[in-house]
Chain A
Amino acid sequence: MIPSVFEYHAPSTVSEALSLLGQYGDGAKLLAGGHSLLPMMKLRFAEPAHLIDLNKIRELSGIREEGGVIKIGAMTSETALIDSALLQKKIPLLVEAASLIADPQVRNRGTIGGDITHGDPGNDHPAITIALDAKFILVGPKGERTVAAGDFFLGTYMTDLQPEEILKEIHIKPFAPKTGSAYCKLKRKTGDFATAAAAVVLQMSGDVVSSARITLTNVGPIALHAQAAEQALVGKPLTDASIAAAAAAAMAICDPAEDLRGNIEYKTAMAGEMTKRAIRLAATRCK
């Protein structure tokens, strides 16, 4: 498995990368961690003439808190997310999800931005960032714009990122006190995509759920935001019945593709089961 010939560019600034992107247009591909793109190129499913490697752009990496917002550079690796004391404390859902992605070596290279912009419904960060109500900072020749995670994913391998744009940062508000979260991911083995996964962010006011965000991975053409499931929980005490209702609502929006992981019925049922588990686990963490 050998990629076809391409020209390699390693810009050191975002503006340099943007100008290369402008210059080569459709013939160019951005290289982040490379664990989706390079195998595609080795199989010759992708044959870009120009590869623009974003790994040398320092300003694209790093995690910082600024003005009450956590700002994560798009080229921040999964390993860096996992190791971040800031995220462990303030957005533990991101840490939990990152540690369920692929394997240690792949997490060393794989980046949050690459995972998001690939537009693969099997990737985990789309559902996670929607659950976290993240904002994506996209930068293009005309400057920056901000898109909510919930508006970014348009279809399988299709996102709102324009060909001349680069995802620069992911902005997420830290969890309010007593927020609980969980990501439950059913997979066949280490390194696999989810058969189905659910992310839940929960706040409790006494026994009553005061807010809930529920999203699903790999059970539709894009990551799904299960709003009806959220409504099944909010304003009520958490009971077996309300959890079951939320799971049923989550299952109702599933539209998975059948593959070796399972048929539509199984994946839908597992989305429900993962939703239940994530709600229960998140609730135990609302402390």
Chain B
Amino acid sequence: MAKKLITVTVNGNKIEQAVEPRTLLIHFLRENLNLTGAHIGCDTSHCGACTVDIDGQSVKSCTHLAVQCDGSEVVTVEGLADKGVLHAVQDAFYKEHGLQCGFCTPGMLVRAYRLLQDNVNPSEEQIRAGMAGNLCRCTGYQNIVKAVRHAAKTLQTAKQAVAA
């Protein structure tokens, strides 16, 4: 089957590759680009371990084709840190013990990153609803909620500092 040439910007890097149309985005990222942060947990778009950001929206990359990303900007967990400085959500997951086995963590982080762009100061209820597409088997979510609140505070403080 003919491959399609696609151009995708992944974590700021412009990528041009020919892909088989049936290539799932998660496999394109993991196999072709060696970005193995996002994982496959359920294959049916229930667990969110494969969550990445496409053009400013959280998407489950196990249920998305790489060819659909032609011309898009994709951000994965590997793209959250800025020149070696952790993003506030990464730091907060560490500080609040928001992870255990780590398998769901990349998807959680990318989702939390987007949630806090859409809502800078979410309530606990909003965090729980906004993160409900990501499953974790280890933490019971309580510390992840704490981590997202922690990150929200950090981001707001940073914003105020810039404004001042």
Contacts and interface: CB of A to CB of B under 8 A. Distances in A.
Interface string B112-124: 0001000000000
Interface stretch (A32-40, A152-160, A210-218): A32-40
Contact of B43 (A1, A8, A104, A109): A1
A2 B22 contact: yes
A2 B129 CA distance: 30
A128 B17 CA distance: 42
Interface stretch (B55-63, B88-96, B155-163): B55-63
B63 to A, nearest CB: 5
A109 B58 CA distance: 9
B77 to A, nearest CB: 15
Nearest to B128: A190
B45 interface: yes
Nearest to B65: A8
A41 to B, nearest CB: 8
B22 A5 contact: yes
B98 interface: no
Interface residues of B, number: 30
B68 interface: yes
Nearest to A83: B118
Given A104-B133, A190-B133, A3 B51 contact: no
A104 B22 CA distance: 24
Contacts of A39: 43-45, 63
Interface residues on A, range: 20 to 34
A2 to B, nearest CB: 7
Given A8-B4, A190-B132, A105 B51 contact: yes
Interface in B96-153: 111, 115, 129-133
Contacts of B45: 35, 38-39, 105-106
B115 to A, nearest CB: 8
A227 to B, nearest CB: 34
Contacts of B115: 104
A102 B63 contact: no
A38 B67 contact: no
B87 interface: no
B63 A104 contact: no
A7 B133 contact: no
Interface of A: 1-8, 10, 34-35, 38-39, 42, 51, 53, 55, 79, 102-106, 108-109, 190-191
What 3 A-B pairs come out closest when comparing CB atoms?
A103-B133, A8-B21, A1-B43
